[in-house]
Amino acid sequence: MTHTMSAPAPSETLSNEATSVLPEWLTLALVLWVAGMLIVRSRVLLDKGKVDNAAHAWVAGSLAVVALRDRFVQQHLLEPLGLSLGDIRVVTHSVVLVCAALLAILGFLWHSGRLPSKRFPYALLALVVVLSLALWFISKPARDAGIAVEELESWRTGLYMTIYSLPTPIAEIPAALTALIMLRERTLPTRFLFGVLVIAAIAGSWLDHLTRLVNGWLLAFGHHNWFTAIRAESNDAFFLPIIAMLLLLAVPSVVTSVRVRRGTDPDSLAVLRLRNLWKALTDEVPDYRLLGSFRMAHPVDLHHRMRIEIEDTFGKLCRFIPYDCPWPETPAGRAALIRQALASHARGDLPLSQAQIPEWMTDEDQVDLVADAWNDPRIDDSNPLNYPPKEPETNRAAS
């Protein structure tokens, strides 16, 4: 990756392609917005889970791409290390492939709450490594000559742009399907708006990547026209603005989390009361979780949604409790039995009976009491039907 002092100066095309065309003031403003929202959201979000961690990792990776495309970073931080501008561009594209892998993970987690398999991230990592090495070797003649791969106008141009541009649109398909489902449901205005913003962002991303792919193959066959001219002048015009627009989706979750954390209204207090029970249930049975519950804009909506999801997940988990097993009368005993049902479901055990939802599960006051007991560390999970544990004989005698 190192180059001697006699390395050729980068061509004008390479400089334009490897460096962002956004004005410095706009780049700085957007980076501050994205980084600030990332930090705030990671600190205040209430129901942060795997999907949120994946989203935060993707945003962080995207900021790394922005930094690699910044002229100041290139000239004052990376080139002194011996990297040519051509090298920096390939490294940038490799980080974009990492971001595509993170988008795929994010999309699956958002769509179904889980990945296709435990090996999925490792398979994606291996694929990223292979594709990055391919980019490195395909671009070698261009890097040695100090020109952009587009200037080779050969099969290398088309293949390079295909490997670089195609993974991101493919990775965004699960998220696009989920967003379309949200548009079709139209259950809440906030969810509909959420879906609209996601579709708009993905459409912009597809426009950016797919036009680059088409441009690469046109140049590979030596075709120059209005399309190739426009594409050459719009490099990186969509990347950071798309990320900034996507971060608008984080605003409702931040606002809701702050309201719940600081609120004293009944709905905020109810959300805090139900939160741990709800999260445990919907994490294990994500099919019954309305996607992005904490992304709703108001605690009233969130409270209503959480109660529905708790009852729905209860209905499925009841199948993992023997039909002749009576529900305990105490909230703590009920909470312990629910924990056992969750454990049975997590192990992949076969259902023990048909779903028989007890009457107490439809009583909000009773569910609230179970939620209170859920946070009680004194629950004996091994003996739910006889909770609380019996006092030692010596203690009872002393009393």
Considering 200, 233, 253, which residue would you say is the last residue of a domain?
253
- Residue 352 pLDDT exceeds 50: yes
Per-residue pLDDT, 282? 86
The reply to whether 128 and 244 lie within a common domain is: yes
**Domain span at residue 216?**
12-253
The reply to whether 221 and 302 lie within a common domain is: no
Q: How many domains is the chain built from?
A: 2
Instruction: Tell me, yes or no, whether 1 lies in a domain.
Output: no
The reply to whether 238 and 268 lie within a common domain is: no
Percent of the chain whose predicted confidence (pLDDT) is above 70:
86
Instruction: Tell me, yes or no, whether 184 lies in a domain.
Output: yes
Give residues with Cβ within 8 angstroms of 81, minimum separation 6: none
Per-residue pLDDT, 51? 84
The reply to whether 213 and 361 lie within a common domain is: no
The reply to whether 236 and 365 lie within a common domain is: no
Give the confidence band of 81 by pLDDT, cuts at 50, 70, 90: very high
- Residue 40 pLDDT exceeds 70: yes
Give the pair of three-digit tokens for residue 8: 């050729």
- Residue 57 pLDDT exceeds 90: yes
The reply to whether 344 and 282 lie within a common domain is: yes
Considering 229, 253, 277, which residue would you say is the last residue of a domain?
253
Q: Domain holding 26: CATH number?
A: 1.20.1070
Give the pair of three-digit tokens for residue 121: 């991230």
Angle between helices 266-284 and 364-374 (to 10 degrees): 70
Please give the Cα distance from 398 to 389 (Å, whole number).
17
Give the confidence band of 398 by pLDDT, cuts at 50, 70, 90: very low
The reply to whether 210 and 302 lie within a common domain is: no
The reply to whether 23 and 144 lie within a common domain is: yes
Bigger pLDDT: 397 vs 20: 20
Instruction: Tell me, yes or no, whether 5 lies in a domain.
Output: no
Considering 197, 218, 253, which residue would you say is the last residue of a domain?
253
Instruction: Tell me, yes or no, whether 7 lies in a domain.
Output: no
Please give the Cα distance from 43 to 29 (Å, whole number).
21
Instruction: Tell me, yes or no, whether 388 lies in a domain.
Output: yes
**Mean pLDDT (whole number) for 100-110:** 93
Instruction: Tell me, yes or no, whether 3 lies in a domain.
Output: no
Please give the Cα distance from 364 to 175 (Å, whole number).
34
The reply to whether 275 and 382 lie within a common domain is: yes
The reply to whether 217 and 316 lie within a common domain is: no
The reply to whether 299 and 191 lie within a common domain is: no
The reply to whether 145 and 273 lie within a common domain is: no
Instruction: Tell me, yes or no, whether 322 lies in a domain.
Output: yes
Percent of the chain whose predicted confidence (pLDDT) is above 90:
34
Instruction: Tell me, yes or no, whether 78 lies in a domain.
Output: yes
Listed residue (151, 141, 135) closest to 96, CA to CA: 135
